[in-house]
Every structure is written in C-alpha cells, then in structure tokens.
A and B are shown apart, each in its own frame.
Chain A
Amino acid sequence: MISQLSVFLANERGRLAAACRALADAGFNMHSLVLADTADFGVARIFCDRPEEAAALLAEAGYRAAVTPVIAVRVPNAPGGLATLLEFCDGAGMNVEYGYCYSVGPDTAVDVLKIEGEGAEAKLAEGGFDLVEADEIYAV
C-alpha cells in the first residue's frame, strides 16, 4: 500500500498554492500531484515524503488533510496499459473508487488506484501486476 496525502481544498484562488507552500516550507518533497475538482471544492492527491507527517502538518495548519491508502501499479507506457489493469480489476470484482496515472520516464507509467475493500493488492500480485513499493516513490 502506498500512503497518499489527500487534501480538501476550497475552490478559491491560492488555496492549492498555499497548501503546496506549507509543505515546501516544511521540507516535504512532492513527487506527484493530481487534482480532482468540482464547482466548489477540490481534492488534491499527493505523493510526497513522509506522508503521515505531512498530513499532520497540514491538519495543524487548518487544512482538512489525511492519508489515504492507495495501490500503485507499474505498467508499460504504451496503449492499453491502464485498460488492461482496469479490466482485471473489473473481472476480479474489485470496485475502483478512482484512479489516475503518471509517466515515469519514456517506458513506464504508474497507475494509482483507490480500491474499495481489502485484498486488492494480493489479487493484483497474483494476476502478475508489478506493484510499486512506497519507498520506490517517496521517502518513508
């Protein structure tokens, strides 16, 4: 499991920047950031160093911040990488809450999934997927 830092943000100018600044000033290096937003709020999903500490820091500073367990899978950076993964999840009866992906170099991509319930990791490993360890992404 990967610990993703999730931050609830009002859809107002400067809120995301302020959250990023707070992390930066405290020396937390960010490795990825994905923003899910609606008309009046957004949720920033972040991979950064020492996510538990980062969440505590932001909560202390008045943000609604928490650590969410997610799964990261390394897939070939080629057409169909994500589709294959999602089809497998579907076939195995795993309910994907949300997902996103980012590229790592020219050949690989990392697909991040939030899957409902337990046991998803084991099923994916059994299915031959290449799971990414937390320490491959950020300082634990």
Chain B
Amino acid sequence: MAHYYQPDIETMPREELRALQLERMRESMRNAYENVGVFRERFDAAGVTPEDLTCLEDLARFPFVVKQDMRDAYPFGMFARPNAEVARIHASSGTTGQATVVGHTAADLANWADCFARGIAMVGGSADSTIQVSYGYGLFTGGLGAHAGGEAMGCTVIPTSSGNTKRQVQMMRDLGTDILACTPSYALLIADTAIELGYDPATEFPISAVICGAEPASQNMKDEIAEKLGVQYCDVYGLSEIMGPGVAMECAEGGGIHVAEDQFYCEVVDPETLEVLPDGQWGELVITTLARECCPLVRYRTRDVTRIVDEPCACGRTHRKIDYLRGRTDDMLIIRGVNVFPSQIEQVITEFPEIAAQYQIILTSNGPLDRVELQVETVPDFPFDEVRKLEDLKRRLAAELKGNLQVAVEIKIVEPKTIERSMGKAKRVVDLREGTNR
C-alpha cells in the first residue's frame, strides 16, 4: 500500500502537473526579473521577458545562471524579498572562494519541509516515526532541512547533529530510531561503530530506513549501508543554492530519484553546447525553481551530471526521476565529439568482477582522431594463464563500453601496480592529445 505525504501533488496527472509548472514558472520568472538585478540584466541582454514563456520548452530561450553569479551577488544581490520577509539564511561552505548565501522566506521553509517530508513517506515514515538527524546543523542545509522535514511529517525528531558517534548509536538503540538522516559516509561510520560496540543493528535496532545525501556515494557503499543497518536506502538530492536536501528523493522502487516537480523544473543540457538534451541522455542538470520566493533561480547550472528518467514509477508518483548523480561536469571528457564521464567508465568496470577497481584512461591523438586506451588490471585470481580468456575479457569489456559511451575504447590489460595509486584522488585520466590542455 503506497503511502504519500501529499498525495494530490505527488500523484498529480502529468498534464495537470505540467500546467502547474508553467503557471508557477512564469510567476517565478516575474519574481526574478522584477526583483533580482542579475536576472533583469541577463533577460534584457537576451531580449526575453517572462511574458515570452508560453510553454515549458520556451525555457530554453532564457539565459543560465551559475554559482559565480551568486558569489558576485554576495551578500544580498540574489534576494527578491526585503529583510522583513526573510526568515532564515543558509550559506555554502565557501571552500572554493566566496561563500554564497541563500535566503528563505517562511513559505520557502515550509515548502522545503514538505519536500523532505515526502521522502520520509517514501521510506515508510509517518507521524509515528522517530527520525534521528545526524547531519550537521548550522549554515549547512542538511541538519535543519531534515529536521524541518521530520517536523512537517509530525515525526519525533532527535537532533543529534553530527559527531560523538558512540552516543549516536546509543540514542539510536535506546530511543528506537526508525529513520536516520545523515551523509552516507557518516551512516557507514555509525553502522560500523554499532557493530564494533557489539551490536547487530540490522537485527537488533528498530531502524528501517536511512535518508542520505550531500556527498557522492557509490552503489556498493549504499548497499553496504543498507545491509549493515538492515534498512531501505533513500538517496536525497539537494543543493543549498536551490534549497537544500529534498529537491529530489528516492522511493522504494529505486531506479532514480523523484524530483519535486511542483517545486523545481529540471533540464539536462550538454555542458559544452548548452543545448537541452532529450530525456535519457546524460548531461548537466539545470534547475529552475518554481515556488522559491526569496531566492528564485532561473536555469541554474548545477554542474551535477545526471539524466532524466521519464518512465512511470510503480510507486504511483507522477513526478519524474533523475538518475543517480555521476559526478561533476568538471570531470567531463570530450572524445571524438562525444561527452564522456569517467564515472560512466567506472560504472561499466564495476560490472566486470574479473577486473580490479583501479583503472586509467589514456587519451592520445591519432591524426585528427582521438584514441582512447583504457588500462585495467585483472583481479588476482583471474585465470590469466589462458590467453583466450584474457582476449575474451577484453572483447566483452570493449563491447560494453562501446554500447555505453558510443565511443570505441581500446582495452589494455596491464600488470598489477602499473596504474598509479595515489594517496588522495587517483589520477584516472591522462590526456596526451595534441592541442588540448584539459
């Protein structure tokens, strides 16, 4: 029995939902155009006004905004509301340059809480649930975002914030936490700490779900968390520029993350040409807010790589999904005119148990053409003694990559430790092509 937080919105027929999106988008654009300097300048320069938006596809005629625009507008340049109407301010960590601040009106906060609460329903939560929020509280949107979502649902909220992991485990056990909200790495640490303390949280704790986001997590890591804690894993997407956690959340069916489409309109664009890509193609996620009052954004380039999964979901929700994120556009390679993300290659490699996790992509020029070589190692127990098996492995891997990337890749099986292991981030791509300095 499916269970929704806002059934009318979450299962709204597509046509009705699109009509609502269009109406809200136009209103949101007016808000941006009339109250935010950067939007007025950009729209004027592009020769468009909110009145030019006659259908959702018209959005492609409007200019983009990027994070730098928000930095440049620091502190209040992106605010469409006077201070009296601002209820709260969040800010990004600012590890790379100027921080970006985002204001929220009371209505913005209420919408945000609703978005997150929908995810709580997706993991089977209700007013009867206890949610432990182990995201950090503060300027970071994780803690307060999840907290408000729990309150909106009517849950019992335990605001443990992050840190003091042993106490987290104790609370989880003693207070009977049903849902844990935190970063995936912290969920794993909590699980491991519980196990170290002699518990089997999967069977001994009542916990039934985790809602994890704010940092990338591989499928293996998600599976490990789900297994160790014995829970449903819900991937939550959000970014502080747009709102915070709850922009998209994963239902029990998996297969991607449902975008709160009554609040946000998603496009996927080619990060080079900035052309809107058809559903199903990987590219950069661009988000337009539909109901944000204080900091409306039109065509915000997230730099996150995903694709739109436009298939009906068995959970009954009509809001479309985006696929699990595949890294950042900064990692993108252009090979023979095709956009390739190292994470796509990684994904294929993980499907081959015969191949070790280490790999390296070598790009060279072969005349005017790009030549792609993928160096991989076999796992130690692979029967490498039989040349036929190695050749067969190469063939299968090359075919799988060709199918996934649309680019021919030469496979080279190398000796162990040929591929450089670095202490920090491994150098996955070596670009030796002429005329590129990527």
Task: Report B-chain residues with C-beta under 8 Å of the C-beta of A97.
Answer: 386, 388
How many residue pairs at the A-B interface have CB separations less than 8 Å?
50
Contact yes or no, A64 B386, CB < 8 A: no
- Per DSSP, chain B at the interface is loop
Q: Which one of A15, A38, A64 lies within 8 Å of B416 (CB-CB)?
A: A64
Residue B197, interface by CB 8 Å: no
Residue A8, interface by CB 8 Å: yes
**Shortest distance in angstroms between B377's beta carbon and chain A's nearest beta carbon?**
8
For A48-68 the 0/1 string (1 means CB < 8 A from B) is 000000000001001110101
Task: Report B-chain residues with C-beta under 8 Å of the C-beta of A59.
Answer: 380
Task: Report A-chain residues with C-beta under 8 Å of the C-beta of B385.
Answer: 4, 6, 43, 45, 66, 68, 114
Residue A102, interface by CB 8 Å: no
Residue in B closest to A59 when the chains form the complex, CB atoms = B380
Task: Report A-chain residues with C-beta under 8 Å of the C-beta of B418.
Answer: 10
**Shortest distance in angstroms between A46's beta carbon and chain B's nearest beta carbon?**
11
* Residues of B in contact with A, size category: 10 to 19
Task: Report A-chain residues with C-beta under 8 Å of the C-beta of B387.
Answer: 36, 38, 43, 98
- Bound form: Cα–Cα A10–B378 in Å: 13
Binding stretch for chain A, among B137-145, B281-289, B407-415 = B407-415
Residue A40, interface by CB 8 Å: yes
Which residues of A (62-101) have their CB < 8 Å from a CB of B? 62-64, 66, 68, 97-98
Which residues of B (373-401) have their CB < 8 Å from a CB of A? 377-378, 380, 383-388, 390-391
Residue A9, interface by CB 8 Å: yes
Task: Report A-chain residues with C-beta under 8 Å of the C-beta of B412.
Answer: 40-41
Task: Report B-chain residues with C-beta under 8 Å of the C-beta of A64.
Answer: 377-378, 380, 384, 415-416
**Shortest distance in angstroms between A25's beta carbon and chain B's nearest beta carbon?**
19
Task: Report B-chain residues with C-beta under 8 Å of the C-beta of A63.
Answer: 415-416
Task: Report B-chain residues with C-beta under 8 Å of the C-beta of A38.
Answer: 387, 390-391
**Shortest distance in angstroms between A17's beta carbon and chain B's nearest beta carbon?**
14
- Bound form: Cα–Cα A43–B383 in Å: 11
- Bound form: Cα–Cα A10–B390 in Å: 13
Task: Report B-chain residues with C-beta under 8 Å of the C-beta of A4.
Answer: 385
Task: Report A-chain residues with C-beta under 8 Å of the C-beta of B386.
Answer: 97-98, 114
- Bound form: Cα–Cα A63–B377 in Å: 11
- Bound form: Cα–Cα A10–B415 in Å: 6
Residue B425, interface by CB 8 Å: no
- Bound form: Cα–Cα A52–B378 in Å: 20
Residue in B closest to A36 when the chains form the complex, CB atoms = B387
**Shortest distance in angstroms between A62's beta carbon and chain B's nearest beta carbon?**
5
Task: Report B-chain residues with C-beta under 8 Å of the C-beta of A45.
Answer: 385
**Shortest distance in angstroms between A101's beta carbon and chain B's nearest beta carbon?**
17
Contact yes or no, A43 B384, CB < 8 A: yes
- Bound form: Cα–Cα A6–B390 in Å: 14
Contact yes or no, B390 A62, CB < 8 A: no
Contact yes or no, A62 B415, CB < 8 A: yes
Which residues of A (30-48) have their CB < 8 Å from a CB of B? 36, 38, 40-41, 43, 45
Residue in A closest to B388 when the chains form the complex, CB atoms = A97
Which residues of B (403-438) have their CB < 8 Å from a CB of A? 412-418
**Shortest distance in angstroms between A111's beta carbon and chain B's nearest beta carbon?**
17
**Shortest distance in angstroms between B268's beta carbon and chain A's nearest beta carbon?**
37
Task: Report A-chain residues with C-beta under 8 Å of the C-beta of B383.
Answer: 68
Contact yes or no, B414 A10, CB < 8 A: yes
**Shortest distance in angstroms between A32's beta carbon and chain B's nearest beta carbon?**
15
**Shortest distance in angstroms between A61's beta carbon and chain B's nearest beta carbon?**
10
Listed A/B pairs (12) with beta-carbon separation below 8 Å: A6-B384, A8-B415, A38-B391, A40-B413, A43-B390, A62-B415, A63-B416, A64-B380, A66-B380, A68-B385, A97-B388, A114-B385
Nearest 9 interchain pairs by C-beta:
A6-B385, A68-B385, A8-B384, A62-B417, A10-B415, A36-B387, A64-B416, A40-B412, A97-B386
